[in-house]
């Protein structure tokens, strides 16, 4: 079984692929793969591993030897699943690898905002404490997380992992019902109620037709002016133009984004330009790294290997294709 990894650079350099190598006879890894390079690299291989490289129906029709596509992610919008089934190509994905990493990221961003850690470190570096007339130098106010209300939109494994850590800090957890739902399940509250009550609103839901632009001008006006918004899910959940306006007008206090609509984003993305120009002091953007602790990345690779091992044994593990 010959395998090719089309975009191995989506993983850190310290991640090892030994588990995958043990399941195949040959593994060829390419840091990135363009559309023009795709056919040549996939031709004659049995297994294609892709994180974000797109495999269309037209491309799959040209690869009669291909037996298995391993998506190195949970989302699978980059592979034509129906076409793969038509050509008897198995497709797998992975999930459940990033709960600790995403939860740690979300809590770290909350703690930085409410604890003002960097600000207080900088005060000492700049000599303010040394010149103080009292034993401490206060600077920006520190606020406890205990008693704060965390609203979670999307209560899968990631949302649950965030809730678990937040509860340890004494926070009140509100779990949002699906925004489009007419019924509110036990243990959840309406999306509108979560938006209005949350001190921190954390997004963990998938991107679908019903969740695109979920956070828009109307929703932002209903949030507390002291609220913090965190998005580690998908960039398209938030209308960037509306968020930019809300941050400028202080309709909400702060936003942390780990994702944008297009990744990597264009240099002229309005939110990135606002940051670079110093126009906003209430926005932080990171480069889609909430999932990417070393441990989570290695777990993902090991799960890919388990998918391949199961396929080799004729078993269905994490299969997405419609073949039975």
- Sequence-separated (6 or more) residues with CB below 8 Å from residue 263: 235, 288
Alpha helix positions (H), 50-199: 57-60, 81-86, 99-115, 117-125, 157-168, 191-197
Query: Can you say how many angstroms the Cα of residue 224 is from the centroid of all Cα atoms in its chain?
Result: 24
What 3-state DSSP class applies to 92? strand
Our answer to whether residue 288 is catalytic in this structure is yes
Put the strands of the sheet holding 172-175 in their side by side order.
172-175, 149-153, 200-203, 228-231, 254-257, 283-285
212 annotated active-site:
no
Identify the burial level of 54 via C-beta atoms within 10 angstroms of its C-beta, where 0-12 means exposed, 13-18 middle and 19 or more buried.
Answer: middle
| Inter-residue contact 305 to 22 (CB < 8 Å) | yes
* Phi, psi of 8, deg, nearest 5: -65, -15
Q: Choose, from 144, 263, 295, 315, the residue flagged as catalytic.
A: 263
d(CA 220, CA 41): 46
Please say if 263 is a catalytic residue.
yes
For residues 155 and 128, the answer to whether their CB atoms sit within 8 Å is: no
Contact 221, 250 (CB under 8 A): no
Q: Which position among 178, 188, 204, 234 bears the catalytic label?
A: 234
Omega of the bond leading into 192 within 30 degrees of 0 (cis): no
Could you give the residue numbers annotated as active site?
A: 234, 263, 288
């Amino acid at each position: 079984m010959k395998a090719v990894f089309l975009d191995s650079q989506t993983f850190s350099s310290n991640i090892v692929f030994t588990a995958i190598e043990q399941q195949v006879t040959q593994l060829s890894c390419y840091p990135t793969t363009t559309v023009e390079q795709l056919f040549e690299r996939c031709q004659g291989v049995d297994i294609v591993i892709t994180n974000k490289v797109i495999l269309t129906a037209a491309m799959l029709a040209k690869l009669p030897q291909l037996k298995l596509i391993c998506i190195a992610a949970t989302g699978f919008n980059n592979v034509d699943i129906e076409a793969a089934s038509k050509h008897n190509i198995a497709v797998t994905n992975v999930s459940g690898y990033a709960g600790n990493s995403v939860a740690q990221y979300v809590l770290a961003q909350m703690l930085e905002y409410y604890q003002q850690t960097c600000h207080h470190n900088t005060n000492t570096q700049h000599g303010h404490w040394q010149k103080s007339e009292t034993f401490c130098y206060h600077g920006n106010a520190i606020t406890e997380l205990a008693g704060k209300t965390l609203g979670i939109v999307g209560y899968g494994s990631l949302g649950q992992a965030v809730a678990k850590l937040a509860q340890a800090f004494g926070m009140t957890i509100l779990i949002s019902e699906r925004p489009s739902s007419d019924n509110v399940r036990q243990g959840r509250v309406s999306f509108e109620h979560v938006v209005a009550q949350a001190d921190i609103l954390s997004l963990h839901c998938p991107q679908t037709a019903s969740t695109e632009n979920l956070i828009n001008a109307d929703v932002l006006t209903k949030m507390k002016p002291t609220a913090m918004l965190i998005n580690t899910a998908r960039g398209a959940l938030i209308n960037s133009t509306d968020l930019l306006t809300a941050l400028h007008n202080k309709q909400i206090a702060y936003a942390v984004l780990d994702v944008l609509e297009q990744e990597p984003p264009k240099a002229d993305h309005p939110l990135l330009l606002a940051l670079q120009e110093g126009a906003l002091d209430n926005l932080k953007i990171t480069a889609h790294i909430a999932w990417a602790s070393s441990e989570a990345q290695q777990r993902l690779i090991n799960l890919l290997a388990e998918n391949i091992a199961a396929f080799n044994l004729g078993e269905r593990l994490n299969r997405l294709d419609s073949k039975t």
